[in-house]
Structure 1
Amino acid sequence: MSPRTGRPKAENPLNVNLKVRFDQETNNRLLDYCEKHGVTRTEAIRRGIHLLLEQEK
């Protein structure tokens, strides 16, 4: 029998979907940030959430 092929299972899978609504100005600022820092919108939002949680400590 051949070994399994495909991607290995992730340690912390990203399996939660979240819908967020922004006004146009916020979205434009987010897009500018993403372009400047070379990240996706999702990654930028994750970074923002992590920053908020770290400030709370």
Structure 2
Amino acid sequence: MSSKKMGRPPSDNPKSDLIRVRVDQAILNKLDACTEKLNTNRSDVIRKGIEKMYDDLQK
């Protein structure tokens, strides 16, 4: 038997913090439209949005 663990290897940047946000249906529709257009998931779209806002504020 192998002593290695099975499964996904540990991440270099684990995403362990959870944020819950209330949105209306219009915002949810826009978020889902972005996920389809970018072929990604809601979390990635939100992360990219936060990064973009942060970068804009640093200018």
TM-score under structure 2 length normalisation: 0.83
Matched residues in 2 for 1:41 and 1:7: separation? 22
Indicate yes or no: 2:54 matched with 1:50. Answer: no
Task: List gaps (5 residues or longer) in structure 1.
Answer: none
**Structural RMSD (CA):** 1.4
Which residue identity does 2:19 align to in structure 1? Answer: L
Return 5+ residue gaps in structure 2 as ranges. Answer: none
Following TM superposition, by how much is the alpha carbon of 1:24 offset from its aligned partner in structure 2, in angstroms? Answer: 0.4
Aligned residues: 57
Instruction: Give TM-score, length-normalised by structure 1.
Output: 0.85
Aligned to 1:2: 2
